[in-house]
Amino acid sequence: MVLHTRVCDILNITHPVVQGGMHFVAYSSLSAAVSNAGGLGIITALTQPSPEHLRAEIQKLKALLRTPNVPFGVNMTLLPTLAPPNYDAYLDVIIEERVPVVETAGRNPSAIIKRLKSAGITVIHKCVNIKHALTAERLGVDIIAMDGFECAGHPGDDDIPNMILLPRAKEALKIPFIASGGIGTGSQLAACLALGAEGINMGTRFMATREAPIHDGIKSALVSGTELSTTHVMKSLKNTERVYKNSASKQVQELEAKHPGDINAIRHLVRGENYRRSFQETGNADDSVWSAGMVMGLIHDVPTVAVLIERIVADAENVIQALPTRVVASGAYPTPTSKL
């Protein structure tokens, strides 16, 4: 069998696997590898310090694609900040470079979605609850990425895991959705399809690949970690983030307890430059606050992107094909005989 869903048709991809936008991770090398392997690779716009840097990164990605028509995407996250970047300038670059897919996230994206759709761009919007997903659907997005509580980064404040979130999305949405958060294996892909999703979005799992442009020390931490190796910070700021559990995140939690809601008390610990340095220079997994998902418990190696995607899809197909042999009609098993 070959796994093929509406999401594959909409995105023009071979496998229903999307690589999420990740700060200081989703550069052209990783994203091109995902797209070349039949998934959808995504580079992160705001990792780039300016719109022109984004243009250069998009052009670098295009040069790495096996053919010019291989699809790819750009992530545009609307940040909760008093000094927002020049989103319009970034959007200008995205449209001028004819990016086929954009993943939006964060605050209400209505203005951005209108511009993207007017330019003929396919839009994926990431949501952590059904209310926001329905709003995005009304705004005209093509695909929703439902992001469960298990995810790295920002899971929202409702704490709803994918076992509940995905079937609720199936009930509520008319457009297709993909599952995001805590996913990294073929059996999980099969489970997500059973719950109504038409593909998966992976972030943390793609960090532990050979093409991920991060230090081997971080990749080693992902492999050695377990499902218990993450924690939450910034809850008091209503901007909860799931991060790797280390001394830096513990210090943030201690400061939050003393100064709830005060970003200035923790700003020096949670600024992006800290984990950029960890990811790209030192490889020290303990000295910064960096996003990681509970899927760490299922990461046991650092394969190439192509091997990872091929393995996940093949395992999902095997799980689906094996189901009839594992589910039997009532009465098919012999009734145990008690011995008196």
- For 198-243, the DSSP string reads SSEEESHHHHTSTTS-S-HHHHHHHHH--TTSEEEE-GGGT--EEE
140 and 197 share a domain? yes
131 and 261 share a domain? no
> What confidence score (pLDDT) does residue 329 get?
65
10 and 136 share a domain? yes
195 and 226 share a domain? no
Q: Which amino acid is at 189?
A: L
The average confidence (pLDDT) of the chain is 94
Asked whether residue 124 is assigned to any structural domain, the reply reads yes
62 and 202 share a domain? yes
**Which range of residues forms the domain containing residue 237?**
216-282
- Dig out the tokens for 300 from the structure: 């046991």
167 and 237 share a domain? no
How do residues 181-201 score in pLDDT, each as one tens digit? Answer: 999 999 999 999 999 999 999
268 and 256 share a domain? yes
Domain count, the chain: 2
Partner residues linked to 282 by β-bridges? none
Asked whether residue 296 is assigned to any structural domain, the reply reads no
How do residues 199-242 score in pLDDT, each as one tens digit? Answer: 999 999 999 999 999 999 999 999 999 999 999 999 999 899 99
How do residues 33-47 score in pLDDT, each as one tens digit? Answer: 999 999 999 999 999
Asked whether residue 287 is assigned to any structural domain, the reply reads no
Asked whether residue 61 is assigned to any structural domain, the reply reads yes
231 and 167 share a domain? no
Residue 24: left if φ>0, alpha if ψ -120 to 50, beta else—which one?
Answer: left
113 and 150 share a domain? yes
195 and 246 share a domain? no
pTM exceeds cut of 0.75? yes
Q: Say if residue 330's pLDDT is above 70.
A: no
> What confidence score (pLDDT) does residue 82 get?
65
Helix axes 110-118, 87-96, angle to 10 degrees: 20
For residues 121 and 11, what is the distance between their CA atoms, to the nearest angstrom? 10
How do residues 133-173 score in pLDDT, each as one tens digit? Answer: 999 999 999 999 999 999 999 998 899 999 999 999 999 99
19 and 159 share a domain? yes
> What confidence score (pLDDT) does residue 326 get?
81
> What confidence score (pLDDT) does residue 340 get?
47
